[in-house]
Amino acid sequence: MTIDINAFLSTWQQIWAEQTNDNVTLKDTPAYLLGRTVEMPPTVGYETGALSFRLTQMEICGISNLVANRCSLENIGDRIRINLELEGVTFQGSYALEVKPDPIVEIDSAGNLMELSAETRRPVVAGKSVDEDEEKEAWLEQAREEREQLKSKTNGQQLLDMYDEHNEVYDEVFQYSNFGTIWKNNGVTKEMSRDTSNALKNDQFVNDPNKEYSNSKTYNRNAFVLKIALVRTCRDIGEDKPDRGKYENAAEAAMNFESVIDLETGNNKDQIEPMTSEDIYTAIEAHRGDMPTMSEQEMIRRIEFDYPDQGGTEESDEISTVKFNEEECEQLRHLRSAILKERVEKASIVGRSLFSGNCQANLEGIKATVELTREGEEISSLSTQIELPTFELEIDDSQWSGEVARIAQQRLEQMYFTHNLLYNAIAARLEEALAEAVTDSYRQAIA
């Protein structure tokens, strides 16, 4: 049996009329770092501290509000494609500005993952402005443009979706000061960023095979060591947490990315196949779409560096299939020891909420396409795609005061990374909720 869009919409309205509301909830966010060594009010008990922003009690409201004349239904063989447009949808939630004493972090985890300037890292005096780093802002704008270009490609969008899923874990990794130290790599990462930017602008090789950086390593080798550090740290900080699986998944995603690059472009830490931006986009589009699988044993083999005589040095591959030189082994062993110590220290520090209130956003113009599949009498959801408009998060800051307020307002205006996490969380929750609601409505409509 097939139906048209009018029959579907009629059933949709009947189902939602029986519900008490049409809101869907989102999980609370972790605390997103906004600033370090911020001047604290006297009531806090310490002069400077870390400032974070957390969202809780989040809901997407009004998902049943369809624009009827902009909805359609297509029957394509054993598939049903239902196109929807929503109106009057809003986001609402609560926020808290939290503070706590914490070691200085030198990576901007709420903004662009770049090294924070010395001015930003030291205690900020009330009323004093923080200078913008024009070069980093230019790099960030360029990254946004590249992201938009990726989104216009099928494989590019899938790539972004895959790694956006793990951004909360990566954000947490960058809040560890010891990881920030290895990420800066004595200025090498900043120099690599500059080279990447110039290569994109001038159609040059991103990974120049003839260049060695100040640490006598190539672009590929530096990137590989940092990737291993990221994978290892993801696993270490999640080791004793109830949701350990999400940390292991984030580590595996990073490791699989390196495997695909090696297999499909020939690039690894020792072999360099120079690529321009056009070469990179061509490789992304040529990707088959499937990702390699990796057992737990294989993961450990590839990141083990605890024991230089059998942990993957250049001279030995008894355990590890990935070889490091002794300097890299020592660097990664030191990082792991420092991260485990810092993890214990973080667990012992309790923060407090300084300001709290409500926040909201209008999500006008949401479009969704839900594909269903029919097998005999069974109807199931096959895929869901959401087009979510850009939106401004309105935060009630009427009770904020002091230096904390000034820093928080300034940083929230720049929180691209954090805004992107929220954007993706809303889109993913809408996909889930609409897939379920559309499937139920269609089943009842044909019953």
Give 286-351 as a DSSP string: H--S------HHHHHHHH--S-TTTSSBTT--SS-SS-B-HHHHHHHHHHHHHHHHHHHHHHH---
Q: Higher pLDDT residue, 192 or 32? A: 192
Range of lowest pLDDT (23-27, 254-258, 300-304, 310-314) = 310-314
Residue 31: pLDDT above 90? no
Q: 89 with 366: CB under 8 angstroms?
A: yes
Q: What pLDDT shows up at residue 277?
A: 95
Q: What pLDDT shows up at residue 135?
A: 86
Which residues sit opposite 25 in a β-bridge? 59
Q: What pLDDT shows up at residue 359?
A: 96
> How far is the C-alpha of 108 from the C-alpha of 36, rounded, in Å?
10
Q: What pLDDT shows up at residue 239?
A: 87
Q: Which two tokens stand for residue 202?
A: 């001038």
Q: What pLDDT shows up at residue 116?
A: 55
Residue 105: pLDDT above 70? no
Residue 77: pLDDT above 60? yes
Q: Are strands 90-100 and 378-387 parallel, antiparallel or unpaired?
A: unpaired
The structural domains of the chain, with segments of one domain joined by +, span 1-30+44-102+398-424, 138-311+320-346
Write out pLDDT tens, residues 152-177. Answer: 888 888 888 887 889 889 989 988 88
> How far is the C-alpha of 95 from the C-alpha of 397, rounded, in Å?
10
Q: What pLDDT shows up at residue 10?
A: 95
Helix (H, G, I), strand (E, B) or coil at 415: coil
